[in-house]
Amino acid sequence: MKEHSPYLSGLSPVGGKELHARFDGGRLSSDGGILVLREIEGDLGLADRLASHLPDFRDPASVVHGYDDMIRARMLAIACGYEDCDDLDTLRFDPAFKLACGRLSETGRDLMSQPTLSRLENAPTWRQLARMGLAMIDLFCDSFPRVPDHITLDIDDTGDAVHGGQQLALFNGHYDGHCFQPIHIYDAATGKPVLSLLRPGKRPSGKEAATVLRHVIARIRRNWPRVHITLRGDGHYGTPEVMDLLESQECTYILGLPGNARLVEIARPWGEDAAVRRATSGKDKIKSAASFKRPIGPKAGNGNAPSWPGSKQRPKALISVSSSPI
């Protein structure tokens, strides 16, 4: 018969204080912060909101884990840095994760395993995924205590490195590796996320970016019909498709433009002026900005182009030039 001691005796005191090493605390966890995330997720209702767009055709008598429970567990695991599904093969027994998912740490049913989560991630159709994305835009709008008069959206994409043969993963020369290149849209004033769209590891075309923005703007205005929207983005979003869409939706925009012969010609007078001022001032670099009117819309030039919101004049394009030593 074996005897078990509830604590390790005989440890030397420190500063006059006795030391005891106990082994009767049950299963422990190193992810106590997940309980704070649980409160945030509960307040937002993220898992329930997403699961509501995913019909469950499984046999109710055989279902152990609901879609909302699986989405919640997967979401909290990613937030804690466990990005792979197979991490749940171990975390499913973790007492903190079980508590975060509404189950008792010792006697509650263990969480779902990796195969169950993999089936979940392959269950939604493209249409259902789109509805989930639109639901997140609704959540963004619902987070404001009152409807704003104007919002500024920042759009950008970023490289998300992959280490395997995942779908949509492509080699990207800019990031020097295989990656996804998701599009992110944030509210500039608050930093709140509006949209995160997983997509192939390549630069989005003007047509693709315009399609994404069309859905985002339509959903925001479904919640806020009178809100004015300004979009900010890098040069590869400054395409005719994107600008035509924004102008048709009466949105203002600040977009970078890649260099081209026409812009170089337009900017030449300001560039020469900046070069002269740099030479006479002794400064290493001089920047100058100027604006000019540009035709817009498919019927530009015949007087039928759409007007700028709040003005009867066509919009002006802003150009910035600089002069510095080569």
Residues 33-61 have pLDDT tens digits of 899 999 999 999 999 999 999 999 888 88
pLDDT, mean of residues 287-310: 52
Does residue 269 sit in the same domain as residue 243? no
Residue 297 domain boundaries: 259-326
Given a cut of 90, is residue 147 above it in pLDDT? yes
Residue where one domain finishes, among candidates 216, 238, 256: 256
More confident residue, 81 or 312: 81
The pLDDT confidence band at residue 296, using thresholds 50, 70 and 90, is low
CATH classification at residue 236:
3.30.420
Distance CA 90, CA 27 (A): 13
Does residue 159 sit in the same domain as residue 272? no
Between β-strands 170-172 and 252-255, what pairing exists: parallel, antiparallel or unpaired?
unpaired
* C-alpha pair distances (Å), 10 with each of 20, 21, 25: 8, 10, 20
Given a cut of 60, is residue 11 above it in pLDDT? yes
Does residue 295 sit in the same domain as residue 314? yes
Residue 266 has a pLDDT of: 81
Is position 245 within any domain? yes
- Window from 68-72, 89-93, 278-282 with minimum mean pLDDT: 278-282
Give the predicted TM-score (pTM) of the model. 0.77
Given a cut of 70, is residue 9 above it in pLDDT? no
Given a cut of 80, is residue 19 above it in pLDDT? no
- What residues have CB less than 8 Å from 89, skipping those under 6 apart? 113, 114
Is position 217 within any domain? yes
Is position 10 within any domain? no
**Domain tally, the chain:** 3
Is position 112 within any domain? yes
More confident residue, 108 or 306: 108
Does residue 176 sit in the same domain as residue 223? yes
Does residue 156 sit in the same domain as residue 74? no
Distance CA 34, CA 66 (A): 20
Does residue 231 sit in the same domain as residue 315? no
Is position 72 within any domain? yes
Residue 312 has a pLDDT of: 41
Q: How far from chain centre, in Å, is Cα 135? A: 14
Residues 245-293 have pLDDT tens digits of 999 999 999 988 777 788 788 888 887 888 888 888 877 777 777 676 6
The pLDDT confidence band at residue 15, using thresholds 50, 70 and 90, is confident
Does residue 320 sit in the same domain as residue 208? no
Residues 181-211 have pLDDT tens digits of 999 999 999 999 999 999 999 999 999 999 9
Residue where one domain finishes, among candidates 256, 284, 311: 256
Does residue 242 sit in the same domain as residue 265? no
